[in-house]
Amino acid sequence: MLTPDQARERAADIVARAQAAGADAADAVFAADASADLSVRLGKLEDVGRSEGAELGLRVFVGRRSASVSTSDLSPAALDEAAARAVAMAREAPEDPYAGLAPADRLLHGTPPQLDIDDGGEASPDGLKELALAAEDAARAVAGVTNSEGGGASASRHLWALATSTGFAQGYAATAYGVSASVLAGEGGAMERDYAHHAARKRRHLDDPEEVGRRAGERAVARLNPGRIASGAMPVVFDPRVSPSLLGHLIGAITGAAIARKTSFLLDALGGQVFAPGIRIEDDPHRPHGLRSRPFDGEGLPVSPIAIVADGMLETWLLDSASARQLGLAPTGHAARGGGGAPGAAVANLHLCAGVDPVETLLAEVGEGVYVTELIGQGVNGLTGDYSRGAAGFRIAGGALAGPVAEFTIAGNLKAMFRQLTPANDLDFRYGINAPTLRIDGMTVASG
């Protein structure tokens, strides 16, 4: 694989070719990755895979007209052809008054921050097999586990570079490792499935595969013989495996595109009370080893930790340059993009800060309710905030977890849910978006 410097040079080269072909401005992304993954089942090797690829994405501007192309053919002739094609397409595109590169005076200058997200190594097939087998063996060793869907392990390295005709050219590399197990408990029609996985930027930070497997096995066994829960209004407690999904709905509602198109249930919420006082939600693109850490955004702007919600108040929209122009605001350093097309907006390492009470206190205050460990379906209306999703988990009785329950629906409106949200103190940074155990009072629960 190329080095970050070589990737940066590739991106800058096609920008220069686009300008030579007649573009007034241009930017380009070079992305390359190499990955290996391996799966086992019932102690035997089941599948081994390896992939490598590289792609250049070019965006050009002719006045306020723009077009994008991408290519995996990196020969000089192919790059010249791609640049000429992009310019020809842009000349025929409709004008967009908000189109353009990020403001040149806001670009990142100097050395990007070092985030320690690349260990430079590769895992051997034997090493991946050892991880996968250890995870599956530990899961199958849990009493009550009767079958396996397999164990898996993966390793990858990703290279990303951005260059613009306004003088920005930087790149970085990141590694990722993963281990997982998925097993079944019970017999016949009463079988239940669950899983566990962990991902990390560096191999040495990966959870022990035996611990991952044990979690998978214990989760599957705990779901055996689910009952039904009575319908009604009651508190719902979200396990940390599913609580980050609530932050995903928040982010979808505060991106610049949703606000500019007026398709958000939080359209008029900026500067207002969205969560209860004391709630804080932060985005930290500089977190060392973070799964979504990045030294600059998808347009070359510097990034920094930011409070999106402070003391329950919504502090900012998430803006790329185009949506910022449309709203008459400044970009916030949240631009994100793939190999082709215009940037959108996205967070990096997002988390809802921990509360003060342990989970046991949160449950004791509930008394009677439901604890959700799995969410099913996508029943969320981004325009109104109406929320309705299938779920599974455990009954809360007498302020403690009771037996498993399944086939029920939880419903509410995200505006009210956000205001009623109470976090526990068990925040753990395991994903790109993290949240502690969360309690939301007054949701509607309907048994299936």
Q: Please compute Rg for the chain using Cα positions.
A: 24
Name the amino acid, one letter, at 126: D
Ramachandran area for residue 416 (φ above 0: left; ψ -120 to 50: alpha; else beta): alpha
pLDDT of residue 391: 97
Give the span between the Cα atoms of 436 and 439, in whole angstroms.
Answer: 10
Q: How many residues does the chain have?
A: 448
pTM: 0.94
pLDDT of residue 121: 76
Contact 386, 371 (CB under 8 A): no
pLDDT of residue 155: 96
Task: Concatenate the DSSP letters of all residues of 322-340 into one string.
Answer: HHHHHHTS---S-EE--SS
Tokens of residue 229, six digits: 């829960």
340 backbone dihedrals φ, ψ, rounded to 5°:
-135, 165
Query: Domains in the chain and their CATH numbers?
Result: 4-221 (3.30.2290.10), 226-448 (no CATH)
Angle at 208 between CA 202 and CA 213, to 5 degrees: 125
- Mean pLDDT per 10-residue interval, the chain, length 448 residues: 92 98 97 96 96 95 96 96 97 95 94 91 90 98 98 96 97 97 94 97 96 98 95 97 97 96 96 98 96 96 97 98 96 90 93 97 94 94 97 96 96 97 97 97 92
Name the amino acid, one letter, at 39: S
pLDDT of residue 2: 87
